[in-house]
Amino acid sequence: MCIRDRLSINTLPLEKIISPIKTHLESVNNVIKKSLSSDIPIINQISSHIISSGGKRMRPILHLLISGMDGEINKVNHQIAAIIEFIHTATLLHDDVVDQSVKRRNIKTANALFGNAASILVGDFIYSRSFQMMVEIDNMKIMNVLSNTTNAISEGEVLQLLNSHNPDISEEQYFKVIEFKTAKLFEACGSLAGISNNNSAEMINSYSLLGLHFGIIFQLIDDILDYSGDARHIGKNIGDDLSEGRVTLPLIYAMKNSNVNQCKVIKDAIKVGDISKLPDIIEIIEQTESISKVQIKSEEQLHNIKLILNKMPHSDFKRIILELAEYCVYRNN
């Protein structure tokens, strides 16, 4: 599958997929707005900027949908969904400082507008507020999942930093980073749905795996779009990963399947973050069909999601989760 082929596959629009839980998402947004309130103006400014900047709320959506598969979505789920979004938001604030990013979701990043120090400190505030909200739920199992997840995300961020500008990163090392950095929070979306519904350990594990596969898909497609997307759609500059010396799966496959000279072009660009080589590298990625290979990996994760869902009783939420998974695999932003 080439770039044009994956963009030609039609899925339902996200807004239509999630319309059955629209009122629940509004409740989550209300929890978010209420919980971010502070007497310190800069906290309100930065929090408002990043929360209202057009994110998909994919993690809260997934938590609500899995929660609804065999139970009723309730106020605890709204609170958990908000906590998950807070953890994600805090990592974005910190990530943008580390990566020196100036644009996200087609608007200026918080660090570009307010400075690095303020962005880091407000990220810390959002992290700490999420833990206050965990205590309010008063469930040690939930707190255990969220604290372990936050720790794993931090480890993933450090691993990614250590791997920067190293063109010899293996596929195995790449998947370890994305599992920790991205997929662990999606995994928590599933396990927390099971825990809040008082499901069996077996069911909680199935929901966890469901979330894990979603998270891997999400990062794989993000990495595809960094070399094949439209900056207007994805909300950031094409080639940001290359400029940061970040080795993602499209580059790993391109180096593995290119000739000696082409491989050297990619390796040299990774070592110094040479964005001027981006057109040449995109051409090599096309010639080696690396996007297609990564797309196949994402479709393998989609297959795993289908296998898990096939064991679940039929429900509208089950159908919606499958539609959401297909959207994630073929999205263009």
Token pair 């707005």: residue? 33
| 163 within a domain of the structure (yes/no) | no
Do 312 and 197 meet the contact criterion of CB atoms below 8 Å apart? no
| 316 within a domain of the structure (yes/no) | yes
* Residue 288: strand, helix, or coil: coil
| 168 within a domain of the structure (yes/no) | no
Alpha-carbon gap, residue 18 to 224, rounded angstroms? 24
One digit per residue, the tens of pLDDT, for the chain of length 333 reads: 555 555 557 688 999 999 999 999 999 999 999 998 889 999 888 888 877 776 789 999 999 999 999 888 999 999 999 999 999 999 999 988 887 777 776 688 888 888 889 899 999 999 999 999 999 999 999 999 999 999 999 999 999 999 999 999 999 999 999 999 999 999 999 999 999 999 999 999 999 999 999 999 999 999 999 998 665 555 567 888 999 999 999 999 999 999 999 999 999 999 999 999 999 999 999 999 999 999 999 999 999 999 999 999 999 999 999 999 999 999 988
Structure tokens at 218: 């999400």
pLDDT at 50: 78
Alpha-carbon gap, residue 179 to 186, rounded angstroms? 10
| 165 within a domain of the structure (yes/no) | no
Q: Where are the alpha helices (DSSP H) in the chain?
A: 3-7, 14-17, 22-35, 41-51, 58-69, 75-98, 110-114, 116-137, 140-163, 171-178, 184-196, 201-228, 231-234, 240-243, 249-257, 260-272, 278-287, 290-310, 316-330
Structure tokens at 120: 């880091």
| 11 within a domain of the structure (yes/no) | yes
Predicted model pTM: 0.94
| 148 within a domain of the structure (yes/no) | no
| 183 within a domain of the structure (yes/no) | yes
pLDDT at 319: 96
pLDDT at 102: 79
Do 156 and 180 meet the contact criterion of CB atoms below 8 Å apart? yes
Q: Which domain holds residue 286?
A: 3-138+178-330
Structure tokens at 319: 């159908």
| 212 within a domain of the structure (yes/no) | yes
The total number of structural domains in the chain stands at 1
CA torsion 137→140→146→150, rounded to 10°?
120
Token pair 């927390």: residue? 192
Structure tokens at 217: 């898909």
Structure tokens at 265: 């072009």
With CA atoms as reference, report the closest residue to 248 among 293, 305, 189. 293
pLDDT at 83: 98
The CATH number of whichever domain residue 30 belongs to comes to: 1.10.600.10
Name the residue type at position 132.
Q
How many of the other CB atoms lie within 10 Å of CB of 25?
A: 17
